[in-house]
Structure 1
Amino acid sequence: MKPYTLLAGIAALALAATGGQAQETPGARPIEQQIGAGGRPVGANWSRSPVIAEHGMAATAHPLATQIALDILKAGGSAVDAAIAANAALGLMEPTGNGIGGDLFAIVYDPATDKLHGINGSGRSPSGQTLAQLRAKLGDAEALPPVGPLPVTIPGTVDAWFAMHERFGKLPMSDVLAPTVRYAREGHPVAPVIAMYLERSLRSFEARQQTIPFDFTNARATWFADGSAPEAGEIFHNPDLAATLETIGREGRDAFYEGELAQVMVDYLQAQGSAYTLADFAAHDSEWVDPACALYRDGYELCELPPNSQGFAALQMVNILKHVDLAQWERGSPEAIHYITEAKRLAYADVARFYADPDFAALPAELLSEEYGRERFALIDPARATPEFGPGEPKLEGEGDTTYLTVVDGEGMMVSLIQSNYRGMGGGLTPDGLGFMFQDRGELYSLDPAHPNAYEPNKRPFQTIIPAFVKKDGKPWMTLGLMGGGMQPQGHVQVLINLVDYGMNLQEAGDASRINHDGGRQPTEPLTGPSADPLGTLFVEPGIPAATVERLRAMGHKVEVIDDGIMFGGYQAIARDPETGVLTGATEMRKDGQASGY
């Protein structure tokens, strides 16, 4: 790892903007008069200390969820028990990012077997609806809508909970879900960032109702009963969700997919025009999968889950960027940001072409090879942004909103878990009396029948949500996640670069300003024909120096400075010292979250 003195040039990455870095907001005071970050005795003055503990740790997007996870650990639960408990709590407390109407992916390190286990808890399309039948419902629309019954896919989270619990759980599921049942009935105070997202969600749903009619009645009654979103500090109750979780804890997985809860969901969906049947819900199951890893440098390996998720995009970026020494430049330099951006664009060109449900389309194994990464790296012009990158030709061998959490227990079990309803809070549909919203993940199907990600019956769509894991010198080292649609793979890689190339600690690696390249060909676009936005836009946070922004523009990038942090994700991480077992955790300023241990 590079000396800590390299941080001297990285202060420009602080999100608390200093003189001359950020574009002024109209009507704001001059930037040179704005107060900046305070001083620190150690480390960068734009970050805070990571959390260090020994016996157990959790990092989530809500302090109360973190405390629930720690309580479960202290009661004798495993890291998996604690992760499920925290995830259930976040579905209540952060409904703008996740819930049991969505999907789940996780990586679990099991110290008993010294092995990484991956679980794909994503749902499928209706088995009785063809692409032609779906197109007939869509009319003249060229893509699936973000709201209503058509983008709904089977919620996979609950089944994934029980699959993980069966293999790694210690406490009864009723005990694991009990804290959230209590908070849902008795109420909890809404956190500030979540309150902002609730207000944004309400405005978005009301705007969409003007053009795409859908049933918002139950959702409005659940979260916006008085016509407005809950404010920060307001006590929020969800008794319907309490009853749903209590039933799941008491009766198990089958209550959600085959029993009374399933019948309520199917009846409601069919009344909205959905093709789902009770048999579709009963047939759902999660899949245990093997994570793949790519060596970056200095012994650090990034590990991700395979498609239908986009995790391998991060591994492709790693295989490209290992061919340039980014540390020769400052982290806020145009050179470093240019290479990261071009590597992302190259990887995502392949994402749009090849990533899909592996039950329907084989992924070229060569995508993760060292040689392929070298070939893709050679396409980068060091001086200019390439106007358009196409996918490679590997040989075939047979704004979304999300929550990420991580838990490590005293025995060394490490859980990296991500869960989402996809866009916003989901598709707006809330089944009668159940207290959660269905996801709109089906919006990510392509309608081009030639595309690997084309809609088909009983098929999983392309997924954006990805948990990550990092090994160091072949040993398990760190859980890592970063929320936010297409931001996720590039966010994973940026955090890894901050740690490995620039010597940042876990907290600084997440607090440092990020970039988010958006655009290029998408997994929902037809395979042939021009891309709607081949160059895309490079969004940067205000901590990126103004001179760097101007230089990137001169290099041909379309750059925009965004100062609200929303599109740059939300980061959590826990590292475990393989010799001492000491845990180091981090969360970040862009969310309400907390890392804590004991």
Structure 2
Amino acid sequence: MKKRYLLGAVAVTFFSFSSLKADFKPFDENGNMIRTGRGAEGKVGIVSTSKYEASKIGMDVLKKGGNAIDAAVAAGFALGVAEPNSSGLGGGGFMLIRIAKTGETVFIDFRERAPKNSAPKMWVLDKDGKVVDNEKVEGGKAAGVPGEVAGLLYALEKYGTMSREDVIRPAADLAKNGFVVTPTLSGDMKNKYDLMVKYPEFGKTFLTADGFPYETGDTFKNEDMAKTLDLIIKNGKDGFYKGEVAESIVGTLNKYGGVFTMEDLANYEPRIRKPVVGNYRGYEVISSPAPSSGGAVVVQILNILENFNVGDMEVNSPEYLHLFSEAFKLSYADRAKYMGDTDYTPVPLKGLTSKKYAKDLSQKIDMSKSQESIAHDPWQYESDDTTHYSIADKEGNMVSVTKTVNGIFGNGVVADGYGFVLNNEMDDFVTGEGHPNSVAPGKTPLSSMSPTIVLKNGEPFMVLGSPGATKIISTVSQVISKVVDHDMGMQEAIDAPRMFDNTSNKINVETRITPETVDKLKVLGHEVNETSEWDRGMGSVQGVLYKKDGTLEGGADPRRDGKAVGI
């Protein structure tokens, strides 16, 4: 028996046909993560997902004649099985599609929404303004109405070619037969052990028979999840949003203080929105609209950077990091003040993505010193822990999906008997009334998820995205800039050390940034926080680059479990 210890706790990119290394694991025989060998090239296609199992399932669907949407749906359900710490049936997300034949782009919002009985007063605040008993993060009041099943099935029915049986059965088999636990998943299980004890349904699903977290190399099976997927195969959307699964969701959440009704689930529908579109040095950037702040703020950051000769700067030099820090602070300040669900509150999207506004903001940057940033006024210019996967083929069909249960293992509540954890997306609302992101019945909480497609002269150039909460925006911006401004390949841009800054005036940098650079940043007035060599919190980009010679380059982030495969 293995010795066990208790501790205190994607971009999928698909192309046509491929084979996978049967022995691939993202860790070595000692359980240490392998940081190299994650990328791949191909003439026909690439599969790059945050989990090997999902890559294989998506590729198998394509081999059987499915299209990119079929593969995306299959991979989405598979990721919910193999990466339950980051996404799944109890969560939601965004899907951005480009159809090569017409050039049309479609944005599907299947984000979670507030139950009808939601109100700011549902959370009791203590004298310091903090939510009592952490009810915004864990338990029944933390969950929004999940949208993943509705969103994936909508995409399949509208744009796919295969049946539910074809695309969901592989995920059900994966849940039933099991898969190998990675250091990432094992660590997350251990870090949430206390919550698994507090919420018995959670522990029953994600602890071993002897009550311990799974170790790296163990096989994890989830027969309750397989049962749920069988019901979705048989009954479609109603198999999740009505009947026994819905009753379990409502009953289990309300057992832990929730305010859910069966009507909340039965009435859920995905929403079709118009993507945010920007332009960076001649490249068309297409990304997520509100209620995600991601697309608009990514475009705003790139618009600010466009006023500087970024390509002449050494990547991750003090000058380079200082500029990105100042641009991030300006943009994140606007995000905090203005962004919300446009179905409920006006948001100055045109102003935030205006070239003129960005130019005016860029003039506030002093390259000789760090400055505090406040929100400015985009109105006068008016005239989203998570996973990401991207899908593309040589014809130019592209799908970019970011989906999540928000925190690691969401709110810690598992629908009793059905094997999936519920989200804690209600934490993405602010407390109190009168803010663009205040809670209201049916409202979608603000997100940072930024599934993104980049075109050059109307032709496919790049598809990418990342998990990482608010760091999604800064991560996606950095990778786009490195590819465009420094002519990096996809894997090189993903591997490069990252930084993050928002309104706190503190630069977070991976420790691969040199000590000399850190010292110079401090001289410029920055407070610098060094994190780790490969900081998982800096996101996990999975993407594909269309190279000039027709080769497709897939990149997968070594900060987590991703692996690209090509043919």
Query: Is TM more than 0.5 here?
Result: yes
Q: 1:239 — aligned with what?
A: 223
| 59, 69, 79: which one aligns with 1:70 | 59
Q: 1:172 — aligned with what?
A: 163
Q: 1:339 to 1:562 in 2, by over 3 A?
A: same
Aligned residue pairs, count: 526
2:249 matches 1:265: yes
Amino acid at match of 2:524: M
Q: 2:23 — aligned with what?
A: none
Q: Which moved more, 1:468-477 or 1:149-158?
A: 468-477
Query: Shift of the alpha carbon at 1:86?
Result: 1.2
CA RMSD of aligned residues (A): 2.1
- Determine the C-alpha separation between the residues in 2 that align with 1:331 and 1:251: 52
2:96 matches 1:127: no
Please list the CA deviations of residues 63-117 of structure 1 after superposition, one character each: whole Å capped at 9, or x if unmatched.
Answer: 1111111001111111111111112111111111111111111111111221111
Query: Shift of the alpha carbon at 1:339?
Result: 0.8
Q: 1:566 — aligned with what?
A: 536
Query: Shift of the alpha carbon at 1:408?
Result: 2.1
- Determine the C-alpha separation between the residues in 2 that align with 1:542 and 1:562: 6
**Where does the alignment leave 5 or more consecutive residues of structure 2 unmatched?**
1-33
Query: Secondary structure of 1:419's match?
Result: strand
Q: Which moved more, 1:61-70 or 1:51-60?
A: 51-60
Please list the CA deviations of residues 2-41 of structure 1 after superposition, one character each: whole Å capped at 9, or x if unmatched.
Answer: xxxxxxxxxxxxxxxxxxxxxxxxxxxxxxxxxxxx9xxx
Q: 1:348 — aligned with what?
A: 332
Query: Shift of the alpha carbon at 1:316?
Result: 0.7
TM-score, normalised by the number of residues in structure 1: 0.84
- Determine the C-alpha separation between the residues in 1 that align with 2:484 and 2:187: 34
| 186, 195, 199: which one aligns with 2:190 | 199
Instruction: Please list, as runs of the form range in 1=range in 2, the aligned pairs for 1:458-537 lying within 5 A after superposition.
Output: 458-518=442-502, 520=503, 534-535=504-505, 537=506
- Determine the C-alpha separation between the residues in 1 that align with 2:549 and 2:162: 28
Query: Secondary structure of 1:150's match?
Result: helix
Query: Shift of the alpha carbon at 1:138?
Result: 5.3
Q: 1:171 to 1:577 in 2, by over 3 A?
A: farther
Amino acid at match of 2:145: I
2:557 matches 1:588: yes
- Determine the C-alpha separation between the residues in 2 that align with 1:280 and 1:175: 29
- Is the CA contact 2:385–2:404 (under 8 Å) kept in the aligned structure 1? yes
Query: Shift of the alpha carbon at 1:473?
Result: 2.3
% identical equivalent positions: 30
Q: 2:87 — aligned with what?
A: 98
Amino acid at match of 2:78: A
- Determine the C-alpha separation between the residues in 1 that align with 2:176 and 2:440: 40
Query: Secondary structure of 1:405's match?
Result: strand
- Is the CA contact 2:489–2:553 (under 8 Å) kept in the aligned structure 1? no
- Is the CA contact 1:123–1:284 (under 8 Å) kept in the aligned structure 2? no
Query: Shift of the alpha carbon at 1:397?
Result: 5.7
Amino acid at match of 1:571: V
Query: Secondary structure of 2:406's match?
Result: strand
Query: Shift of the alpha carbon at 1:152?
Result: 0.5
Q: 2:370 — aligned with what?
A: 385
2:128 matches 1:145: no
Query: Shift of the alpha carbon at 1:571?
Result: 1.1
Q: 1:249 to 1:49 in 2, by over 3 A?
A: closer
Query: Shift of the alpha carbon at 1:421?
Result: 0.5
2:361 matches 1:376: yes
| 416, 422, 430: which one aligns with 1:432 | 416
- Is the CA contact 2:489–2:545 (under 8 Å) kept in the aligned structure 1? no
Instruction: Please list, as runs of the form range in 1=range in 2, the aligned pairs for 1:412-423 lying within 5 A after superposition.
Output: 412-423=396-407
Q: 2:206 — aligned with what?
A: 223
- Is the CA contact 1:499–1:506 (under 8 Å) kept in the aligned structure 2? yes
TM-score, normalised by the number of residues in structure 2: 0.89
Query: Shift of the alpha carbon at 1:49?
Result: 7.9
- Determine the C-alpha separation between the residues in 1 that align with 2:339 and 2:388: 22
**Where does the alignment leave 5 or more consecutive residues of structure 1 unmatched?**
1-37, 39-45, 210-214, 521-533
Q: 1:463 to 1:316 in 2, by over 3 A?
A: same
Q: 1:138 to 1:259 in 2, by over 3 A?
A: farther
- Is the CA contact 1:78–1:413 (under 8 Å) kept in the aligned structure 2? no
Please list the CA deviations of residues 133-186 of structure 1 after superposition, one character each: whole Å capped at 9, or x if unmatched.
Answer: x14x55665345311111100111111001111121111012101111111111
Q: 1:127 to 1:49 in 2, by over 3 A?
A: closer
- Determine the C-alpha separation between the residues in 1 that align with 2:192 and 2:481: 33
Query: Secondary structure of 1:394's match?
Result: helix
- Is the CA contact 1:47–1:511 (under 8 Å) kept in the aligned structure 2? no
Q: 1:12 — aligned with what?
A: none
